[in-house]
C-alpha cells in the first residue's frame, strides 16, 4: 500500500501565503491574529486535512531544550538586533515544543568575552550552542573543548572551523562577485573605483572573501581601474575622512565599493561634496540608518542578507537535531543575497 502523504504546516504556509508563525498561533491559540486571517487559516487546515504530530509535540513538551546563543555586535548594533528578531521568531514557533534560548552579546573587539560567555553557559548546563564567531583564533581552543564534550554547534554568520561544521550565513565570496557585477554594469564607460575596507585583509578573512570575489569579477570589465584599497576604516569619523581624502586625490573617481559597513557615512560625505550623482556607491547590508541614502540614491546598490532569517534557521536546525534527531543535511546553509535599490527598498525594510 502506498503511504499517505500528510501535509505539513510549511506546505500549507506556502499555499495560502501566510507565515508558519501565524499558523502556529492559530493552532495553539496563542498570540494575536486578525479575525480574517484566523478564518483563512482555519479554512485551510480543514481543506487540507491537517493533522498535527501530537506524539512529537507532546514528547517535546515534557523536556526543555536550552540553546545558548553566543552573539556579537559587528561594527553596528543592527547586526545583533536583527539576529535577535530571528531568534524570537524561533522561540515563538518552537517554544511550546520545548525550545529555550539563552542569549549573550559582546563586542566583536572583545572576543575573549565570548569565551567567558560559553564557560558561563556550560556551568548552567547548556550543551547546545549557536555561535557568531568574533575571532576564530581566540575561540578555536574553546570550540575544541566543546567538541570533546560532545556539544552541538551551529555557526551563525561567522565560523571557527573550516571542516565538519554546520554554518548558516552567506557565501561571502559570491557577495563580492555580485557587488562587482552591479558596479560593472553601472559603469559601462569604465573609470576609477575605490575599495574601502574595515580591517586589513590579513586580519579579517570574511572581508577578504568579499574583496577577492569583487576583484575577480571586476576584471571582466576592462575599462574599470581599481585603485589601491583603503584599509582599517573602523569608525564613522575615519569613514568620513577617508571618503573626503579619496575625492581630493581622485577628481575623476567613478565608483566606491564599501566594505566598512559604514556606507551611510560614506554616502553622507558624497552628498556634502556634491558628488552623489557622479559616483556609484555599492555597499553591504540593510540597516535602519542606510535606508534614507538608498531612497535618495546616494547609495546606488546595497547587497543585503536576511539576518533574521539566518538566526531563525540556525535555531530551527539545532532544535530539530537535539529534539527530534533530524540530521543536518549539509555543512553550509547559504541564505539568499538581495540586490536592494531605491525602487525596491520598501519590500526589504523590517
**pLDDT, position 4:** 41
**pLDDT, position 1:** 29
Which CA distances in Å does 222 have to 169, 245, 255, 279, 304?
Answer: 32, 26, 15, 18, 26
**pLDDT, position 10:** 76
Beta-carbon contacts of 103 under 8 Å, excluding residues fewer than 6 positions away, are 69, 71, 84, 87
Q: Which three cell numbers stand for residue 208?
A: 577578504
**pLDDT, position 76:** 54
Query: Does 200 score more than 80 pLDDT?
Result: no
State the pLDDT confidence band at 53, using cuts at 50, 70 and 90: low
**pLDDT, position 27:** 80
When pLDDT is averaged across residues 59-65 and rounded to a whole number, the result is 63
Q: Do strands 128-131 and 152-156 pair parallel, antiparallel, or not at all (unpaired)? A: parallel
199 vs 4, higher pLDDT: 199
**pLDDT, position 345:** 95
Q: What is the pLDDT of residues 73-95, one digit of tens each?
A: 765 567 888 899 999 999 988 88
Q: Do strands 337-340 and 301-305 pair parallel, antiparallel, or not at all (unpaired)? A: antiparallel
Q: Worst-scoring range by mean pLDDT, 90-94, 164-168, 220-224? A: 90-94
Start-to-end CA distance of the chain, whole Å, equals 48
Query: Does 177 score more than 80 pLDDT?
Result: yes
Closest Cα to residue 86, out of 306, 254, 271, 312?
312
When pLDDT is averaged across residues 59-64 and rounded to a whole number, the result is 59
| Burial grade of 277 (CB within 10 A; 0-12, 13-18, 19 or more) | exposed
**pLDDT, position 3:** 36
223 alpha-carbon distance from chain centroid: 33
Q: Where are the domains of the chain?
A: 9-49, 59-165+307-335, 172-305
Cα 289 from Cα 346, distance rounded (Å): 14
Q: Which three cell numbers stand for residue 138?
A: 581566540
Cα 173 from Cα 212, distance rounded (Å): 7
**pLDDT, position 105:** 86
172-305 maps to CATH 2.30.30.40 = no
CATH architecture of the domain 59-165+307-335 equals 3-Layer(aba) Sandwich (3.40)
Q: What is the pLDDT of residues 121-143, one digit of tens each?
A: 999 999 999 999 988 999 999 99
Share of the chain above pLDDT 90, in %: 64
Beta-carbon contacts of 88 under 8 Å, excluding residues fewer than 6 positions away, are none
**pLDDT, position 230:** 87
Residues for the chain: how many in total? 350
Q: Do strands 65-73 and 128-131 pair parallel, antiparallel, or not at all (unpaired)? A: parallel
Query: Does 57 score more than 60 pLDDT?
Result: no
106 near 72, Cβ under 8 Å? yes
How many CB atoms are closer than 10 A to CB 43?
A: 11
**pLDDT, position 107:** 82
205 near 169, Cβ under 8 Å? no
Map 262-276 to HEC letters: CHHHHHHHHHHHCCC
86 alpha-carbon distance from chain centroid: 10
272 near 263, Cβ under 8 Å? no
Q: Please indicate whether the domains covering 59-165+307-335 and 172-305 agree at the CATH topology level.
A: yes
When pLDDT is averaged across residues 290-305 and rounded to a whole number, the result is 95
302 near 291, Cβ under 8 Å? no
Q: What is the pLDDT of residues 243-283, one digit of tens each?
A: 999 999 999 999 999 998 899 999 999 999 999 999 999 99
Q: Which three cell numbers stand for residue 350?
A: 523590517
Amino acid at each position: 500500500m502506498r503511504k499517505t502523504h500528510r501535509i505539513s504546516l510549511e506546505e500549507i504556509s506556502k499555499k495560502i501565503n501566510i507565515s508558519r508563525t501565524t499558523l502556529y498561533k492559530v493552532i495553539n491559540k496563542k498570540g494575536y491574529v486578525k479575525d480574517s486571517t484566523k478564518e483563512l487559516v482555519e479554512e485551510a487546515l480543514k481543506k487540507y486535512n491537517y493533522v498535527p504530530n501530537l506524539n512529537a509535540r507532546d514528547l517535546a513538551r515534557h523536556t526543555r531544550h536550552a540553546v545558548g546563543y553566543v552573539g556579537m555586535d559587528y561594527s553596528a548594533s543592527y547586526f545583533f538586533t536583527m539576529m535577535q528578531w530571528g531568534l524570537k521568531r524561533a522561540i515563538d514557533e518552537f517554544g511550546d515544543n520545548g525550545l529555550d534560548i539563552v542569549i549573550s552579546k559582546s563586542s566583536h573587539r572583545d572576543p575573549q568575552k565570548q569565551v567567558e560567555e560559553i564557560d558561563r553557559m556550560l556551568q548552567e548546563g547548556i550543551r547546545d550552542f549557536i555561535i557568531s564567531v568574533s575571532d576564530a583564533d581566540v575561540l578555536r581552543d574553546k570550540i575544541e573543548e566543546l567538541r570533546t564534550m560532545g556539544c552541538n554547534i551551529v555557526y551563525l554568520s561567522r565560523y571557527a572551523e573550516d571542516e565538519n561544521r554546520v554554518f548558516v550565513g552567506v557565501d561571502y565570496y559570491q557577495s563580492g562577485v555580485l557587488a562587482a557585477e552591479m558596479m560593472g554594469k553601472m559603469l559601462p564607460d569604465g573609470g576609477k573605483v575605490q575599495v574601502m575596507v574595515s580591517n586589513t585583509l590579513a586580519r579579517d578573512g570574511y572581508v577578504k572573501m568579499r574583496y577577492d570575489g569583487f576583484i575577480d569579477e571586476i576584471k571582466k570589465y576592462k575599462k574599470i581601474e581599481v585603485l589601491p584599497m583603503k584599509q582599517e576604516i573602523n569608525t564613522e569619523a575615519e569613514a568620513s575622512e577617508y571618503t573626503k581624502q579619496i575625492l581630493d586625490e581622485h577628481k575623476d573617481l567613478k565608483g566606491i565599493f564599501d566594505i566598512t559597513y559604514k556606507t551611510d557615512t560614506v554616502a553622507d560625505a558624497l552628498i556634502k561634496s556634491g558628488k552623489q550623482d557622479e559616483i556609484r556607491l555599492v555597499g553591504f547590508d540593510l540597516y535602519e540608518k542606510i535606508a534614507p541614502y538608498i531612497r535618495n540614491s546616494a547609495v546606488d546598490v546595497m547587497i543585503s542578507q536576511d539576518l533574521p532569517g539566518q538566526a531563525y534557521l540556525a535555531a530551527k536546525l539545532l532544535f530539530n537535531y537535539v529534539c527530534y534527531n533530524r540530521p543536518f543535511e549539509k555543512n553550509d546553509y547559504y541564505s539568499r543575497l538581495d540586490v536592494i535599490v531605491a525602487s525596491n527598498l520598501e519590500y526589504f525594510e523590517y
